Structure 1
Amino acid sequence: MDRVMSQTRSDNPAVRGPRYRYVVLAMLILAYTFNFLDRQILGILAGSIKAELKLTDTQLGLMGGVAFALLYTTLAVPIAWLADRVSRTWIMTAALALWSGFTMACGLAGGFWSLFLSRMGVGVGEAGGVAPAYSLIADYFPKSQRARALAVYSFGIPLGTALGVLFGGLIAAYVNWRFAFLAVGAAGLVLAPVFRWVVRDPVRGGMDAEPGAPATPPQAPAMGRVLATILPKPSFWLLALGAACSSICGYGVAFWLPTFLQRSFGLSLPERSMFYSAIALIGGVAGIWFGGVLADRFGRRSKGAYALAPALCFLVALPCFLLAMNVPSRVWAFLLFLIPTGLNLAWLGPVVAAVQHLAPASMRTTTSALFLLINNLLGLAVGLWFFGYVSDLLAPRYGAESMRHAIYFGLGFYVLSAILLIVASRRLKHDWVD
């Protein structure tokens, strides 16, 4: 019913004016910032939580990865299917309130299982936060601007990561880790009603209509039809698995790098909070924007550029990470970490934009959720656990340096990701839907 009402309020972006789309984009970025803030804050608090609750690296990896990803990935598809039929803004508002509430619950946890279940609750909420946003952006921005718009939306990742690391670490250092969870969760609850008041659900496919033609919302298809459209396309699997391999390393490094900075560089909690938050913010924003602009520019000549550009970024990121981890100077380490941190996120605009063009407008939310299911089930669930497990496995041999060697192993996923995306670049033109 809300969807029908939304279509009668002249919510076509072309009717409301170009400025409003940027207001909506700003609100989506803000919501995504809280998404990653609540998601990534566990990484900077890991040391304090481990000490108080007597946990291992493997258990921390399970809480950060499996606990969050289990329901986050599986519920995202049915929620996205629902979002193709009802108001996407209502779904995102409810999701924001839910994950913020469970973030507050993390601050009340008394042991491994209570924190594990609270992190599962955060995942339940965030399952409704991303795929609907991808679909909204595709309906607010024309094709020629989508990769950049999606890249700008993805600024929420480095912004949320940086704020989570900075404020989470400082609050934990000067108050405690429990209050850090309570504070960021409460802020998200305040944002939820504001988000619903500002963001309108536009006509689906309205920006894909021919100039002068009426924007008619397409009928949402059955799940079976979506699966029959998307799953046979090789480029979908290559993009999803390529992104997933990069996310195994990307999410893993993002979660465990503060621990590495503590154990191998000897940084205190406030020091590593400021050090890594600056890396995440500067490198992440620059890399995401670079990827979006690169794909939009070269994508006009070849659809394959949407996959080829991030593949090349991953191949450059790998040696930069290795070099940054082995320089004696903190200043040089900071400058070198900026490069792979940016290149690690450069895939977001190009790949997500390409996925949006593998299906018609009526299937975009569900298609995005299927992509995120694969990407996050492997990237989040496997990535965070992998680094923690390998660190515990290598601890008897390397001691405090075990996390360094775990990251060495994990960087190999960049090579696999690059190979898959290079193959995808040769298939995109065939599978592309204009």
Structure 2
Amino acid sequence: MTTAAAPTPLERPAYRVYVLGLLTVVYTFNFIDRQVLAILAPYIQAEMNFTDSQLGLLGGPAFAVVYSTLALPIAWLADRISRTSIIATSLAVWSGFTALCGLATGFTFLFGARMGVGVGEAGGVAPSYSLVADYFPKAQRARALAVYSFGVSIGTALGYLFGGLLAAAIDWRAAFIVLGLAGVLLAPIVKLTIKDPERGRFDREPVPEGVIATPAPAQKAASFGEVWAILLKKPSFWFLGFGAACSSVYGYGAAFWLPSFFQRSMGMEGAERAWYMAGIAFFGGTIGIWLGGWLADKLGRGVKRSAYPLVPAVGFIIAVPLFFLAMNVEDKRTAFLLFLIPQALSLAWLGPLITAVQHLVPSHMRSTASASFLLINNLVGIGLGIYLLGAVSEYLTPRFGEEALRYSLYVGQWFYGLAAILLFISARSLRRDWVD
């Protein structure tokens, strides 16, 4: 037996924290550029006279179709070549197209630019999930992925805040250009400072303290067919995927349309609306994401794998009546406090479900499996949710006028109930499907 050598740079806690922090910043820009359209929608609609259905197409299908479908082949590539290079290149591409949105002259131009944002963002998330899994051991993985997922709440909040403030101070075009160029400048830092570690380095059998583990033979990257042959046999993957997708129908839909709801039904304008939405997204979202990851790691130890889907399922059930209550309170301060709770509960799924999917396949298949999960989640969630709420609002406008969006948001809340049902079902098979 040989005593352990000094830790390599990849094993140093400070470097692991740096990598996780920088990946979280990249994910933050992912959601800044994805969600900024929501806060800018009233300005764009006023200038270009778009209908709610057209805005729904820009926020949903224009982005989601290419984002979801391209994520799978890019993730397949990420299981074979440098994940860091893919993430850095993707960041530069989606940020560049975000800036291009600021030059839009009409619906077709803006639709094409939003497709470009989706092309870039397709390469950002699944390779990052895989990297995080190779920087943190199993017992810390849900919390590490929850920290990474802070990019959702932070990015959404900053997109609302900076987008709204820039639009109020200058115009909506400046918001797209400034935020897009900032992401382009970050891409070289990612490429030059994040190392791509050995895949599955924390998934070997444990060895006694003071002993160096024998390196495991390198695993050949799996084909799509091999990955899907495993996933098709695991019911928990499909219930997790469609459960997350149903939650995202309303999650993404509400995130896009709430700024317009606050303008139409609560009389908020400009900077006030930006600060209000940013506060809800940041405080509610960050608390919920961390709480979900912490609870899943705490409750899901040993054989209690069912905690990973059950934690968010319970959260969705509680979130529905609270969202309804928050939307019907006239006092803005009280409404703000009420919105924080369902916002937190609605995002508690990120750490637990992403971790569960990582453990349905061997380590050399994780990028492709994650992209398969994201394909379901995003194609249904983003592609359907934003457009659906906009189309329902437009359909109800002749009857309810400015309040039509309120009733559209009511309709969307039923998807949280469906998500909870699917996640409860997934808990029954997850223990059997889990790969340690």
Distance 2:413 2:11 in 1: 46
User: Match for 1:134 among 121, 126, 129?
Assistant: 129
Indicate the residue corresponding to 2:239 in structure 1: 238
Distance 1:24 1:393 in 2: 47
**1:381 lines up with 2:383 in the alignment:** yes
**1:115 lines up with 2:110 in the alignment:** yes
The amino acid of 1:429's aligned partner reads R
**1:143 lines up with 2:138 in the alignment:** yes
The amino acid of 1:258's aligned partner reads P
Indicate the residue corresponding to 1:181 in structure 2: 176
What are the ranges of 5 or more consecutive residues in structure 2 without an aligned counterpart? none
Indicate the residue corresponding to 1:47 in structure 2: 42
Indicate the residue corresponding to 1:349 in structure 2: 351
Q: Kindly report the root-mean-square deviation, in angstroms, between the aligned alpha carbons of the 2 structures.
A: 1.2
Structure 1 residue ranges (4+ consecutive) displaced by more than 4 angstroms after TM superposition: 12-15
> Which deviations, in whole Å up to 9, do the C-alpha atoms of 1:68-94 show, x marking residues without a partner?
001100000000000000000000000
Q: TM-score, normalised by structure 2?
A: 0.96
User: Match for 1:83 among 75, 78, 82?
Assistant: 78
The amino acid of 2:409's aligned partner reads I
What are the ranges of 5 or more consecutive residues in structure 1 without an aligned counterpart? 1-9
Instruction: Give, in angstroms, the shift of residue 19 of structure 1.
Output: 1.7
Instruction: Give, in angstroms, the shift of residue 214 of structure 1.
Output: 3.4
The 8 Å contact of residues 61 and 382 in structure 2, kept in 1 or not, is answered as yes
The 8 Å contact of residues 312 and 418 in structure 1, kept in 2 or not, is answered as yes
The 8 Å contact of residues 97 and 180 in structure 2, kept in 1 or not, is answered as yes
The 8 Å contact of residues 10 and 197 in structure 2, kept in 1 or not, is answered as no
Indicate the residue corresponding to 1:65 in structure 2: 60
The 8 Å contact of residues 287 and 344 in structure 1, kept in 2 or not, is answered as yes
Indicate the residue corresponding to 2:278 in structure 1: 277
The 8 Å contact of residues 13 and 202 in structure 1, kept in 2 or not, is answered as no
Indicate the residue corresponding to 1:171 in structure 2: 166
Distance 2:381 2:8 in 1: 34
Indicate the residue corresponding to 2:221 in structure 1: 220
Aligned residue for 1:206, secondary structure, equals coil
**1:247 lines up with 2:242 in the alignment:** no
* 1:394-405 correspondence to structure 2 within 5 Å: 394-405=396-407
Indicate the residue corresponding to 1:325 in structure 2: 327
Instruction: Give, in angstroms, the shift of residue 184 of structure 1.
Output: 0.3
Count of residues in Structure 1 that have an aligned counterpart in Structure 2: 424
Instruction: Give, in angstroms, the shift of residue 16 of structure 1.
Output: 3.5
Q: TM-score, normalised by structure 1?
A: 0.96
Indicate the residue corresponding to 1:265 in structure 2: 266
The 8 Å contact of residues 9 and 15 in structure 2, kept in 1 or not, is answered as no
Moved more, 207-216 or 141-150: 207-216
* 1:421-432 correspondence to structure 2 within 5 Å: 421-432=423-434
User: Match for 2:363 among 353, 361, 364?
Assistant: 361
The amino acid of 1:284's aligned partner reads G
Aligned residue for 2:360, secondary structure, equals coil
Distance 2:32 2:346 in 1: 18
Distance 2:43 2:8 in 1: 47
C-alpha spacing 1:15/1:129, structure 2 compared with 1 (3 Å): closer
Instruction: Give, in angstroms, the shift of residue 215 of structure 1.
Output: 3.9
Percentage of matched positions with identical amino acids:
58
C-alpha spacing 1:265/1:432, structure 2 compared with 1 (3 Å): same
